[in-house]
A and B are shown apart, each in its own frame.
Chain A
Amino acid sequence: MRVAVILTILLCILVAEVSGAAAPADQAPATAARLRLTQDGLKISVSTRTPEQVIAFYSARGFAESAVAELAAACMVTVGIRNQRDQVVWLEPASWRLLAADGRTLRRLDRAYWKARWEQLGIPTANRSTFGWTQLPEQRDLRFDEPVGGNLMLARPGQPFDIEARFLLGAARDEGEIVVRIADLQCPDRAVQAAGEPES
C-alpha cells in the first residue's frame, strides 16, 4: 500500500512537471535595459538597442557604412527565448503583432526586406551571412530546453510599442497557443551626435 502511495505521489509530481501549468507573467519594468519574463514555461528576454550599439556591433564586423546606417535607422529589438515546456513551441515572428501606442500596427522588417536591401547596396555575402545569424529565425520548432535568440527589426516607431508574441504548441501545432504581451517598449534615439555629423 505504501509503495502504491509513493508511486502515486511520484506520478503526480511527474505530471505536474510536464504539464507546464500556466503561470502569471513575472515581468520586470518595461523601461529596464533588458526585460525578462517567464510565462507558461517560456523564458523570454527582450532588449531594445540604441543606435550606438547597432553601429558598434556591425561596424566592428566590417559592415559597410551604408549598411550600418540602414541598420541604425531601424529599431532593433533583441529577443531571447528558452522553451521549458515538454512540448514543441513554435516560434514564428510573422504571426506576432507590433502595436504602437496610438493603435497602429507596425511593420516588421523581415529577412525578405533585408535581403532586397543588401542586394541593392551590394553587401558582401559574409556580411549577409553574419546579419542573418543575428536575426530571430522566421520559424523554429523549439524543443524542450532549446534556446533561441536574435534580433527583431522594425521601422522606428517614434513612440512606445507593444509586442504581442503568439506561439502555437505541439509538433502538429494543434495543442493550443500561448500569447505573451510585452508592453511599453521604446526604441532609444541616438544619444549623442557623432563628431562632424550635421545637426539635422
Chain B
Amino acid sequence: MRRAWLIVILLAALTASAAVAVELPKGMMALTARPAPPLRLADMDGRVTDLSTLRGRWVLVHFWASWCGPCRREMPTLASMYARTGLTTVLVNTAESDEEVFAFMSVAAPNMESLMDRDGLVTEAWQPRGLPASFLVDPAGQLRYLALGGRDWESAAYLAFLAAVSRGGAAPAAAAENPR
C-alpha cells in the first residue's frame, strides 16, 4: 500500500514538473517583481513612446542591435509573434544610427517600429544580461520575466506561454532568479 502511494506521489511530481515546463518555456526566467526602469524614447520619425503610458496591459520590451547575430535571427520571430498575438511590443535599438536600423528593420520586421536609444543609456539602465534581451512587463508596470538571449517567439512553447500570461495565468515564479 505504501509503495502504491509512493508511486502516486512520484507520478504527481513528474506531472507537475512537466506542467511547469510547459508554462515557463526554455530560456524564460521569472524575475522577482520590481518596477520597470523608466523608458521614454522616440522612434526614427520622432514619435515618442513612454512605457508608463502602457499600464494596464502586458508589454514586451526588447533590446537589440543589428550587429548582434542572435538579434538578427530573433527579430523575424518577434515580428511574426507580434502579428499573431498583438502583444504590445516595444523594440529598443541600442546605440545605432537611423541608417543601420532602417536597413535592418525594413527587411527583418517591416511591420514594426523601433525606438532609438541613441546613446545606449536607457539600455544600460535596464541592465539586460546581454543583447538581445526581452523583458515582460506586467500591467502594473513590474518586470516579471526575462528571456535569456535570442529565442524563437513564434514557437508553440513561447506562444502558449504568452497566451497564458495575457490571460492572467502567469507562470509560477518558482524557477525564479535564484535557482540552485
* Interface residues of A, Cβ cutoff 8 Å to B: 3-4, 7, 10-11, 57, 61-62, 87-88, 124-130, 132-134, 137, 140, 143-150, 170-171
**Cβ-defined contact, A146 with B27, below 8 A:** yes
Q: Is the CB of A133 within 8 A of B65?
A: yes
Q: Are B119 and A125 in touch, CB under 8 angstroms?
A: yes
A137 to B131, alpha carbons, bound, how many Å? 11
Candidates A3, A10, A134, A147; contact of B149 at CB < 8 Å: A147
Tell me whether A57 and B67 are in contact (CB under 8 A): yes
Cα distance, A11 to B10, chains bound together (Å): 9
B1-58, CB < 8 A from A:
3, 7, 10-11, 14, 26-27, 29
Find chain B residues with CB under 8 A from A137 CB. Answer: 129-130
A61-B67, A147-B70 known; A171-B179 Cβ under 8 A? yes
Q: Which residues of B contact A87 (CB under 8 A)?
A: 179-180
Whether the Cβ atoms of A143 and B179 lie closer than 8 Å is yes
Having A61-B67, A133-B94, A149-B70, one finds 19 other A-B pairs with CB under 8 Å, namely A3-B7, A10-B14, A11-B10, A87-B179, A87-B180, A125-B121, A126-B95, A126-B119, A129-B121, A130-B67, A130-B95, A133-B130, A134-B67, A145-B26, A147-B70, A147-B149, A170-B180, A171-B178, A171-B179
Q: A129 contacts B180, CB within 8 Å?
A: no
The smallest C-beta distance from B59 to any residue of chain A, in angstroms, reads 22
Given A57-B67, A61-B67, A171-B178, A7 and B119 touching (CB < 8 A)? no
Inter-chain contact A140/B3, CB cutoff 8 Å: no
- Contact status of A145 and B148, CB under 8 A, knowing A10-B14, A130-B96, A170-B180: yes
> How many whole Å from A21's CB to the nearest CB in chain B?
18
Task: List the A side residues contacting B118 at CB < 8 Å.
Answer: 126
Q: Is B174 an interface residue (CB 8 A)?
A: no
B70 CB contacts on chain A under 8 angstroms: 147, 149
Q: Are A62 and B97 in contact (CB under 8 A)?
A: yes
15 contacts between A and B (CB under 8 A): A11-B10, A61-B100, A87-B180, A126-B95, A126-B118, A126-B120, A128-B120, A132-B120, A133-B95, A137-B129, A146-B148, A147-B148, A147-B149, A147-B150, A171-B179
Interface assignment of B140: CB less than 8 Å from any CB of chain A: no
CA A171 to CA B179, docked complex, whole Å:
7
Which residue of B is nearest A130, CB measured?
A: B95
Asked if residues B179 and A125 are in contact (CB atoms below 8 Å), the reply is: no
Is the Cβ of A129 less than 8 Å from the Cβ of B179? no
| Nearest chain B residue, comparing its CB with the CB of A136 | B130
Residues of A near B10 (CB, < 8 A) are 7, 11
The interface residues of chain B lying within 8 Å CB-to-CB of A132 are 120
Q: Does B68 contact A (CB under 8 A)?
A: yes
Please, which residues of chain A bring their CB within 8 A of the CB of B121? Answer: 125, 129
Across the two chains, which residue of chain A brings its CB closest to B14?
A10
